Every structure is written in C-alpha cells, then in structure tokens.
Structure 1
Amino acid sequence: MARLLIVHHTVSPATQEMLSAVLDGAHTDDIEGVEVGTKSALSTTVPDLLEADAVVLGTPANIGYMSGALKYFFDNVYYPAQGDTEGLPYALYVHGDNDTSGAVRAVESIAGGMGWRRQRPPLSVTGRPDAKAREACWELGAVMALAALGEV
C-alpha cells in the first residue's frame, strides 16, 4: 500500500481548516490503496519520512519564515534521509496573515536540497481560508494521494 505523509504545524483555526481539507481530499473515496498518515512536525521521525511515497508539508508563516516546528522537522531529517528520499513528490500549503513568500522560499530551498520533486505549486492562503482556499487544499490532498500511488 502506498503511503502519503502529511507533516504539519497546526496552531490556529485557519491552519486546522487547511489541514482538514487536505485530509478530506487525500481520503476521497475515488482513490484507493493509499494509507494517509498525519504527523506533527515536532514528532515526525526519519523512519516516518523514509516510509512515505509522497509528503505534504503544512505550516503557518511566522515572522516571514516557516514555523519553528517545521524547521525542527527539517533539521532532524535533512542529513539522515537526504540520499534516501531523492525524487520524493512533495507539496506545500502555507497560511499567513499577510505574506507567505519567505516561508515558501525557505521550504522550497530545503526540499530542493533534499532532491525532492515539487508536485504542485505551493498553496498560500492569507487571512481566513474561504471556500476557494478549502477547495484548493482538498485538491492538493487528492493529487498528493495520487502522487503516492505514482499516478501523477
């Protein structure tokens, strides 16, 4: 069975809405054969990452950067998993009050350094997630479940 890992730092109602929508998309009845695992960025381990066929990263934009929790995740997995995750499909969603560009840039830089393959453009939401943002999160989850299966 394919495995989609969602690594997130969910600290606000907005990031919770986005995570929920991503999970709903990943669990759609139209996609079978994918185990979806969700882990806090602070508790995700190297073995969790090595077992994944695709990964979704979720973070708030904090002071122009990814959350400290997501940075902690990268600090813990970067060197131990670097060669073993080359080509791993990934996607990113970010929530911010006004600007998410620094968080996106930082995550993409690190993911690129690990040799991961961006599956979709980063999904950035500022302010309260509306129906369009939640739909985009749902789609991101569904596409990444297909990516875990190797179908996109």
Structure 2
Amino acid sequence: MKRLLIVAHAPSPNTQRLRDAATRGAQYLDLETVEVVVKAPLQAGPEDIRASDAILLGTTENLGYMSGALKDFFDRSYYPVLEEKQGMPCALYVRAGNDGTGTRRAVESIVTGLRWRWVQEPLVLRGEWREEFAEQVEELGLYLAVGLEAGVL
C-alpha cells in the first residue's frame, strides 16, 4: 500500500473547497493500492512524512509568503526527515490573492533543501476566486494518486 499525504492549510470556505477537491481527486478512482491521508499543517509532522510515499502541499499566500501553519509544519519536520525522504515526489498548490511568487519561491526553497522531487510545476491560483481552481486542484490530486499506483512517481 502506498500513501499520499495531503497537507493543506484551509482557513476559509474556498481553501477548504481546494483541500476537499485535492482529496476527491486523489480518491476518485478508489485505487486499492493508494491510501490518502489529509491533515492540516498544524496536525501533521515528521511521522506523517516518513509514512508517506508522496506529498501534496496546499497553502494560502499570506503577505507574500506561505501560511504560518505550513511554515510551522516545515520547521518541525525539516531536520527529522532530511536524510530519510530525499527524492520524495511532491506537488504544491497556492491560493494567491496576488501573484503567489513569494509563496512559491519560499516553498520551492524548502523543498529543494529537502531534496524532494517536483512531479509538476507548482499550481498558483491567482486573483479572484474562480470555480476552475477547484477543478485544477482535483486533477492534481488525481494525478498524484494515479502516478503512485502506476509506480511512475
């Protein structure tokens, strides 16, 4: 059994919709060999990363940076998993009211330090809320789950 960990900061109804869309996508095909675990950043930690085969990160853009909750997750997890989880497949979505550049750069810097492997470019959902944001995140969740099951991630 492979495990996809979704760590998503969801402080608003729209960001909750994104987290739910990621989960729905990852569970869409009801894959028998992929378990999906969803946690808020403040509830997730190194033990969750160790138990996972891929990770999907979700955050809001807060003052041009990732959410404090996701930063806290990285602060608590970075060194405990640094040597163990190199090469872990990862993806990111950012709900950005502005441009998301600072948020993306900050997460990419941490992921580079962890030596995780991007499976696709970070998805930055810019500007006013649009319904297609949820569809894009759902597709991202599906892509990760199917990739894990197929053994290509």
Task: Indicate if the aligned counterparts of 1:4 and 1:55 stay in contact, CA closer than 8 A.
Answer: yes
State whether structure 2 residue 152 is matched by structure 1 residue 151.
yes
- How many angstroms apart in 2 are the aligned matches of 1:73 and 1:54? 16
State whether structure 2 residue 74 is matched by structure 1 residue 71.
no
CA positional deviation for 1:45: 1.7
- How many angstroms apart in 1 are the aligned matches of 2:113 and 2:147? 20
CA positional deviation for 1:30: 6.0
Per-residue CA deviations over 1:57-87 (Å, capped at 9, x if unaligned) read 0000000000010000000110110010100
Q: Which amino acid aligns with 1:148?
A: L
Task: Indicate if the aligned counterparts of 2:58 and 2:93 stay in contact, CA closer than 8 A.
Answer: yes
Equivalences, count: 152
SS at match of 1:44: coil
- How many angstroms apart in 1 are the aligned matches of 2:49 and 2:55? 8
Q: Which amino acid aligns with 2:94?
A: V
SS at match of 2:25: helix
Cross-structure match for 1:118 = 118
Q: 1:30 to 1:129 in 2, by over 3 A?
A: farther
5+ unaligned residues in a row in structure 1: which ranges? none
CA positional deviation for 1:128: 4.3
- How many angstroms apart in 2 are the aligned matches of 1:11 and 1:134? 15
- How many angstroms apart in 2 are the aligned matches of 1:128 and 1:27? 27
SS at match of 1:7: strand
Per-residue CA deviations over 1:96-132 (Å, capped at 9, x if unaligned) read 2112111110001100100000011111112344232
Percent of aligned pairs sharing the same letter? 45
Task: Indicate if the aligned counterparts of 1:5 and 1:52 stay in contact, CA closer than 8 A.
Answer: yes
CA positional deviation for 1:151: 2.9
- How many angstroms apart in 2 are the aligned matches of 1:147 and 1:73? 25
What are the residue-to-residue correspondences of 1:64-103 with 2, within 5 Å? 64-103=64-103
- How many angstroms apart in 2 are the aligned matches of 1:148 and 1:73? 23
TM-score normalised to structure 1 length: 0.94
Per-residue CA deviations over 1:7-65 (Å, capped at 9, x if unaligned) read 11110122111111111110012633110001110111211110100000000000000
TM-score normalised to structure 2 length: 0.93
Q: Which amino acid aligns with 1:66?
A: M
SS at match of 2:95: strand
- How many angstroms apart in 2 are the aligned matches of 1:34 and 1:73? 23
Task: Indicate if the aligned counterparts of 2:22 and 2:142 stay in contact, CA closer than 8 A.
Answer: yes
Task: Indicate if the aligned counterparts of 1:45 and 1:77 stay in contact, CA closer than 8 A.
Answer: yes
**Between 127-136 and 7-16, the greater mean CA deviation after superposition:** 127-136
5+ unaligned residues in a row in structure 2: which ranges? none
